[in-house]
Copies of this chain bind each other. A is one copy, B any other.
């Protein structure tokens, strides 16, 4: 998505690497691993496809790198007693292409692709569930984290499948209230 003029690309390895990584993150948060081609990513980044192999080794390595640099910490950036409301609002009202949701979207988009599932498993554990466990705390932390995680994943996939859940504004408000309640109950 940088300049695409006839002039050759300015030489800056770090910026090029970052551009590829960013374009890859955006693509992988919208489509499944197998649906995304290296030529797509390169085109988005305004870069020659060969550079992907050069900088990251392979498409699979690039995907792992995307997973390893994902950061869902926005999720936990709130007081405990507002967690339910925070998550519910984020899942329903955050723009669908927001970077805040990238982590979850990437996980669910490619979870069914054998080549990507291992990296996803690791990302889910290290970058999401472990932190959610710690955030929730207490005896049932793991169980509650699994439930909250499932709800977040499910909301992401449902919303991605049909725009805004196919609900009107009033229904969305109702849904947000109910979800906030459900999630808050999980962590109390």
A interface list, Cβ under 8 A from B: 30-35, 107-114, 117, 120-121, 124-125, 140, 142-144, 146-147, 149-155, 157-158, 160-162, 165-167, 171, 174-175, 178-179, 182, 185-186
Contacts and interface: CB of A to CB of B under 8 A. Distances in A.
A11 B58 CA distance: 45
Given A149-B158, A151-B154, A158-B146, A140 B109 contact: no
A51 B182 CA distance: 49
Contacts of A152: 154
Contact of A31 (B112, B140, B150, B165): B112
The complex is assembled from copies of this chain, and their number is: 2
Contact of A157 (B34, B35, B157): B157
Nearest to A154: B154
Q: Pick the 6 closest A-B CB pairs, nearest first.
A: A154-B154, A150-B154, A34-B34, A32-B112, A109-B112, A153-B154
B174 A143 contact: yes
A113 B111 CA distance: 12
B161 A155 contact: no
Given A34-B35, A140-B174, A174-B140, A147 B112 contact: no
Given A143-B167, A146-B175, A150-B154, 19 more contacts: A30-B112, A31-B114, A32-B110, A108-B108, A108-B112, A110-B112, A117-B161, A120-B161, A124-B162, A142-B167, A143-B174, A147-B179, A151-B154, A153-B154, A153-B157, A153-B158, A154-B154, A157-B157, A178-B186
Given A157-B108, A182-B182, A186-B178, A162 B114 contact: no
A146 B120 contact: no
Contacts of A34: 32, 34-35, 113
